[in-house]
């Protein structure tokens, strides 16, 4: 049997390190996480892998001030639904910004970060968080 | 096949942090109250169904059907639990409804239970968040309150809902719970206290959120033609409907409404041949105050975006046109997750029987309950009539 979290995280590494989802070519809808079946087209759907560009804007957000043990060292932290440019939304932390400055509509880009560890000695999960876009990266509008 | 399904007995244990009682104790208490209230004998019951979300994580015990039937001395009848996160209780009611409608069962005991205070707060929070998408919401740090907070933030942005409006469901539900001897918090809370309580996930505060609760609730249900044999005041399940939506909140087109609620309510009203105006008393799933505001809109009490205004106008108070959560709701009655959907029906049955004492809605004839799983991925609606 795997240590807590190891297999659960390892099998998703490609997905959460790269924001690798998929796209239904029949209805041109993008999915993250990748869906095994396109819920609109079902058996008529054709799904192919798609790597998201990692750019989007904040759809809604909150500042988490009470969290379970694995996130306790990070509070207060910002959790948001990010609407990616492809039209798909996902849930992620917003970093590199004062929590009070976050607002709906803010332009953000993905960054690679430590997400959490399973307990004190458990596997560390890495993956995507998002940060405000900046001039220097050329992602500013 | 039976036409309607009758509710002939109701019972609950007192909700709260019940450190002296185990899961089996509270389940037995609620079940016994329901059985004594109904007047049936144990031998009349031909099946037990239990709504429970996560006893395995909260207490270490699974196989709750066997436990309840065994402890209740009910013998070898079929007994098992059903799970639909926070809608597990509603699922149990619906399961018994279908079992009796189908003719397979004649008279069943429905239970809902959850023992949440045997684990620490961190573990309780983790267990609650598995009602949403654990791998893509919870594991990234989105607590369950955080998901509802994002709904609230969006509702404020789209419709101008205010922080004061967000506090109103709590004030109303606590005032109602003052008169419910089974409620966890039988005391009023002033608006100012709610609005100054600690933030847990902005804009949601601790007093916008249902508490950690131990509790169980029970119903005895049977074929319509058997009801009068046992009870002078049976009430009837006139509709039972269920709809689903995406597991993760971020996959919904809108996060300021719950489509599963809209469609299950519409279907239930149609099935019962009623309009929302015909309903005298409502139980709306207020695990967070924004939930009650959204549901007030989605069931049709208020127009979209005007749920907060409806609360301001008092139309959802006892004595208003559409009383909501007369027993205190999840906020003040308490929210033992799997018990909630059953406790909602207990409250409606008491109201329809005229047994709700100081919180009685005069002449209540029809009641509607909405029980939500997760952030709206399951909605189970029941309409009860007398």
For residues A75 and A78, give the distance between their C-alpha atoms in angstroms, rounded to a whole number: 9
H-run or E-run covering A80: strand A77-84
DSSP state of B316: T
pLDDT, one tens digit per residue, over B240-287 is: 999 999 999 999 999 999 999 999 999 999 999 999 999 999 999 999
pLDDT value at residue A140: 62
Contacts by B275-278, CB closer than 8 A, 24 or more apart: B276/B300, B276/B301, B276/B322, B276/B368, B278/B366
Look-up: residue for tokens 């993760």? B248
- Looking at the structure, tell me whether residues A59 and A46 fall in a common domain: no
Question: Around Cβ B293, how many Cβ atoms within 10 Å?
Answer: 31
Please confirm, yes or no, whether B250 is among the known catalytic residues.
no
- Looking at the structure, tell me whether residues A77 and A31 fall in a common domain: no
Q: Is B255 in contact with A81 (Cβ distance < 8 A)?
A: yes
Domain limits at A104? Answer: 1-14+54-141
> What confidence category does residue A135 fall into, taking pLDDT thresholds of 50, 70 and 90?
low
Our CA-based measurement puts residue A65 at a distance from the nearest CA of chain B, in whole angstroms, of 5
For the entire predicted model, the pTM comes to 0.97
Interface with A, mutate which of B140, B163, B197, B205 (most A CBs under 10 A):
B140
Query: What are the chain A neighbours of B140 within 8 Å (beta carbons)?
Result: 79, 91-93, 115, 127
In the predicted structure, residue A2 carries a pLDDT above the cut 90: no
H-run or E-run covering B325: none
- Looking at the structure, tell me whether residues A60 and A41 fall in a common domain: no
Cross-chain CB nearest to B140 (options A68, A93, A104) = A93
- ipTM of the shown complex: 0.95
Q: Is A74 in contact with B139 (Cβ distance < 8 A)?
A: no
For residues B142 and B155, give the distance between their C-alpha atoms in angstroms, rounded to a whole number: 18
What stretches in chain B show pLDDT beneath 70?
1-2
Q: Is-contact A19 A54, C-beta < 8 A?
A: yes
Token pair belonging to B157:
């942005």
- Looking at the structure, tell me whether residues A58 and A89 fall in a common domain: yes
- Looking at the structure, tell me whether residues A8 and A32 fall in a common domain: no
pLDDT value at residue B96: 98
Catalytic residue among B13, B86, B208, B222: B86
pLDDT value at residue B1: 44
Q: Is-contact A73 A81, C-beta < 8 A?
A: no
Look-up: residue for tokens 């309009």? B275
Please confirm, yes or no, whether B86 is among the known catalytic residues.
yes
Q: Is-contact A77 A63, C-beta < 8 A?
A: yes
- Looking at the structure, tell me whether residues A46 and A59 fall in a common domain: no
Q: Is B142 in contact with A91 (Cβ distance < 8 A)?
A: yes
Interface with B, mutate which of A29, A58, A66 (most B CBs under 10 A):
A66
> What confidence category does residue A4 fall into, taking pLDDT thresholds of 50, 70 and 90?
confident
pLDDT, one tens digit per residue, over B143-175 is: 999 999 999 999 999 999 999 999 999 999 999
Query: What are the chain A neighbours of B142 within 8 Å (beta carbons)?
Result: 64, 79, 91
List residues of B whose CB lies inside 8 A of any A CB. 122-123, 125-126, 129, 135-137, 139-143, 145-146, 149-151, 153-154, 157, 198-204, 248-251, 255
Query: Into how many domains does chain A fold?
Result: 2
CB pairs under 8 A between A and B: 94
A130 φ/ψ sector (left φ>0, alpha ψ -120 to 50, else beta)? beta
Mean pLDDT of A88-103: 97
Token pair belonging to A47:
């799904």
- Looking at the structure, tell me whether residues A80 and A97 fall in a common domain: yes
Token pair belonging to B161:
């809902």
Q: Which residue of A has its CA nearest to B256?
A: A60
Q: Is A115 in contact with B140 (Cβ distance < 8 A)?
A: yes
User: What structural domains does chain B harbor?
Assistant: 5-120+213-235 (3.40.47.10), 126-210+238-385 (3.40.47.10)
């Amino acid at each position: 049997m795997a240590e807590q979290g190891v297999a659960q995280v390892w099998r998703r590494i490609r997905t959460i390190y790269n924001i690798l989802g998929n796209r239904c070519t029949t209805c041109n809808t993008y999915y993250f996480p990748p869906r095994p079946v396109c819920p609109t087209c079902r058996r008529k759907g054709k799904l192919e892998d798609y790597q998201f560009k990692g750019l989007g804007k904040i759809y809604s957000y909150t500042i988490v001030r009470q969290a379970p043990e694995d996130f306790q060292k990070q509070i207060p932290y910002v959790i948001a639904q990010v609407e990616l440019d492809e039209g798909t939304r996902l849930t992620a932390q917003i970093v590199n910004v004062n929590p009070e400055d976050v607002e709906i509509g803010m332009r953000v880009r993905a960054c690679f970060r430590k997400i959490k560890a399973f307990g004190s000695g458990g596997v560390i999960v890495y993956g995507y968080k998002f940060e405000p876009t900046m001039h220097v990266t050329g992602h500013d509008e | 096949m039976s036409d309607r399904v009758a509710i002939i007995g109701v019972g609950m244990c007192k909700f709260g942090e019940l450190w002296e009682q185990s899961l089996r104790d509270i389940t037995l208490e609620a079940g016994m109250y329901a059985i004594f209230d109904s007047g049936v004998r144990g031998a009349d019951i031909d099946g037990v169904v239990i709504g429970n979300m996560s006893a395995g994580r909260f207490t270490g015990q699974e196989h709750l059907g066997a436990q309840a039937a065994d402890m209740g001395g009910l013998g070898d009848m079929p007994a098992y639990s059903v799970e639909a996160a926070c809608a597990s209780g509603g699922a149990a009611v619906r399961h018994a409804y279908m079992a009796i409608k189908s003719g397979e069962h004649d008279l069943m005991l429905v239970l809902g239970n959850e023992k949440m205070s045997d684990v620490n707060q961190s573990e309780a929070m983790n267990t609650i968040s598995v009602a949403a998408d654990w791998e893509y919401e919870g594991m990234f740090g989105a607590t369950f309150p955080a998901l509802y907070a994002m709904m609230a933030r969006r509702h404020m942005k789209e419709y101008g809902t205010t922080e004061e409006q967000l506090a109103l469901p709590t004030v109303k539900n606590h005032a109602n719970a003052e008169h419910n001897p089974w409620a966890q918090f039988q005391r009023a809370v002033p608006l100012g206290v709610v609005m100054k309580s600690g933030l847990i996930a902005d804009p949601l505060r601790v007093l916008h959120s249902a508490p950690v609760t131990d509790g169980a609730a029970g119903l005895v249900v049977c074929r319509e033609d058997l009801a009068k044999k046992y009870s002078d005041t049976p009430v009837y399940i006139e509709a039972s409907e269920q709809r689903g939506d995406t597991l993760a909140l971020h996959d919904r087109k809108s996060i300021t409404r719950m489509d599963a609620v809209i469609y299950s309510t519409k279907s239930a009203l149609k099935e019962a041949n009623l309009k929302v105006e015909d309903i005298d008393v409502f139980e709306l799933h207020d695990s967070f105050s924004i939930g009650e505001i959204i549901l007030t809109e989605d069931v049709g009490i208020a127009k979209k975006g005007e749920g907060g205004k409806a609360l301001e106008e008092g139309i959802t108070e006892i004595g208003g046109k559409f009383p909501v959560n007369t027993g205190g709701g999840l906020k003040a009655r308490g929210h033992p997750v799997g018990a909630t959907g059953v406790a909602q029906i207990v409250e409606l049955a008491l109201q329809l029987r005229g047994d709700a004492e100081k919180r009685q809605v005069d002449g209540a004839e029809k009641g509607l309950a909405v029980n939500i799983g997760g952030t709206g991925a399951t909605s189970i609606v029941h309409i009860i009539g007398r």
